[in-house]
Structure formats: structure tokens, C-alpha cells
Amino acid sequence: MKEILFGKDGHVATITLNRPAKRNAYSETMVHEILEALADARDDDEIRVVIFTGAGKGFCAGGDIGRDFQYPARYRGHRLESMLEMRENIHVLIHFLDRFDKPVIAAINGAAVAGGLTLALACDFRFAAESAKLGDTSLRFGLIPDEGGAYFFPRFMGLDRALKMSLLSEVYTAREALELGLVTEVVPDEELMTRAFELAAKLAEGPPIAIRVTKRMMYKQRSMQLEHALEDAAMATLVVNYTDDVKEGTAAFHEKRAPRFKGR
């Protein structure tokens, strides 16, 4: 890995964006390395939770708009270069996260703006350090929220607030972002990773299969009518209700002890 750090500790995998001199602005290389790390975490049954964070003082400043990174060489000069670059890189990552069944926590240690904010919103939980800044700065450069921001921002903030943020290129403090619904919790800077790992540990103690199915259901059912959502839930019971974890959870309840779920 050249532009991320990837590590595992027990049931938790950590992905650290590692271009601190660029405030962890993403490049094609970074996106592909994140996808590789996520695929590893997805396929490793020992990993139950993933944490995203950034090296240095930033979480992610969005796409690297430097001349050398704006478009990969193979797209340059192509009439559809911008569309191809989006479709085959950052869009693949955002879609991958949307279909990633294990819980993902964003530990926002610094600026999360433009595509960096989109990346954070594609995670399930967002813990922001007190000093973090969040917003959409795309239009400052004459660009648009093309990494998925136009989809995510209104869903978290409401349409009017999302339009105001993007059209005026507003950036908020962590506390303001909490009030707007962009983050789950704000914590002191020095406690950020501790708090992220505390939540990860609690999630890792839960029933892995039921957690993954529950997350998948909630994501899928956002666009379903009630009838279809209930049918989806009924079908999901055919996977979950016959697992050993259900037997263990029931036994633990009757024996008045903590369950020991194994994901089987």
C-alpha cells in the first residue's frame, strides 16, 4: 500500500488515508488501495467492523485537483474523461461502501470536505473530533458534488440545507455538523480513536450474521414500499433465525450471562 495504511486488531480493521501533505485528498491509487483493503475486510470472517480515519491533520479533502491527479493518464484527451474517471474510481468506492455489510465507522480527525464528506457519509457512523471541519467546497473551484454528494447531502441535512451548503461552499465546525445531522457524535480530539474503537468493540461483540443482515435490510429498504420491505424482512429470517448465534443468544438470556456470538 502506497497511499493508505491497513491494519487489523482482533475483529477490527483500520483503514488510514495516508497522504497527509495533501490533507488525504484521494487519488486513483488511493481509491484502488481502499477497495483492496475493503475487499480483504469483507472476505475475512474474523473482521467484524472497519474504521476509516486520516493521517495527519485531515480526514479527506476530496479529490486531488492537482494537475498530475485530476485525470489518470489513460483518460486524458478522451471526450468523456471526466465521466470515465468518476465512474471507474470514486463512484466504485462509494457504491462498494453502500453494499458493504459490515459496520463502518468514520473517525473524522480533521477536514472532511467535498468528496471527503461524501466518503464519511457513505460510512455508517461518523465520530468527529472537536477540531474537525465538514462541508462542501466543490463550487469554490467551479466543480460540483459529483462523488455522490448530491445524493447524500439532502438525505442527511434536508434539501434546503444541502443546497445552502453546496451552493455557498459552506464549511461547518464539528458541533454545527452534529446539529445538521452530518455526524453521529463529537468527541475531544485526543479521544477520537478511543471512542471509535469502543463502538467497534461493542459492535464486534454482537451477532455478526444478524448485524450484517440488519444493515443490508436497512440500506435496501430505503427505496422499498412497506409491502416489499416486510417481504424482504421475512425472507431474511430464513438466513438468520436458524443460525447457532440465535441458539446462543437464547441460551445466554435464560442462563443470565453475556452471549458469545461466533457468526455461525
Per-residue confidence of the chain (264 residues) as pLDDT tens digits? 899 999 999 999 999 999 999 999 999 899 999 999 999 999 999 999 999 999 999 999 998 877 555 556 666 676 777 777 778 889 999 999 999 999 999 999 999 999 999 999 999 999 999 999 999 999 999 999 999 999 999 999 999 999 999 999 999 999 999 999 999 999 999 999 999 999 999 999 999 999 999 999 999 999 999 999 999 999 999 999 999 999 989 999 999 999 999 988
Per-residue pLDDT at 87: 80
Q: Which long-range contacts (CB under 8 A, 24 or more apart) does 16-20 make?
A: 16/52, 16/53, 16/54, 16/55, 17/52, 17/53, 17/54, 17/55, 17/59, 17/60, 18/55, 19/55, 19/64, 20/54, 20/55, 20/56, 20/57, 20/58
Do 171 and 134 meet the contact criterion of CB atoms below 8 Å apart? yes
Per-residue pLDDT at 78: 67
Per-residue pLDDT at 74: 67
222 and 159 in a common domain = no
Per-residue pLDDT at 35: 98
Angle at 37 between CA 177 and CA 206, to 5 degrees: 70
129 and 18 in a common domain = yes
Per-residue pLDDT at 72: 62
29 and 108 in a common domain = yes
Helix (H, G, I), strand (E, B) or coil at 244: helix
26 and 144 in a common domain = yes
141 and 29 in a common domain = yes
* Cell numbers representing residue 26 in the block: 484521494
Residue 259 within any structural domain of the chain: no
Rounded to 5 degrees, φ, ψ at 170 are: -85, 145
State how many domains the chain has. 2
Distance CA 224, CA 222 (A): 6
224 and 118 in a common domain = no
Per-residue pLDDT at 6: 98
pTM to 2 decimal places: 0.92
Residue 260 within any structural domain of the chain: no
Per-residue pLDDT at 260: 92
Cα radius of gyration rounded to whole Å, the chain: 19
How do strand 111-113 and strand 104-108 relate by DSSP bridges?
A: unpaired
Where do the DSSP E strands lie in the chain? 4-9, 12-17, 49-54, 58-60, 104-108, 111-113, 125-129, 133-135, 171-173, 185-187
133 and 19 in a common domain = yes
The edge-to-edge listing of strands for the beta sheet with 133-135 is 58-60, 111-113, 133-135, 171-173
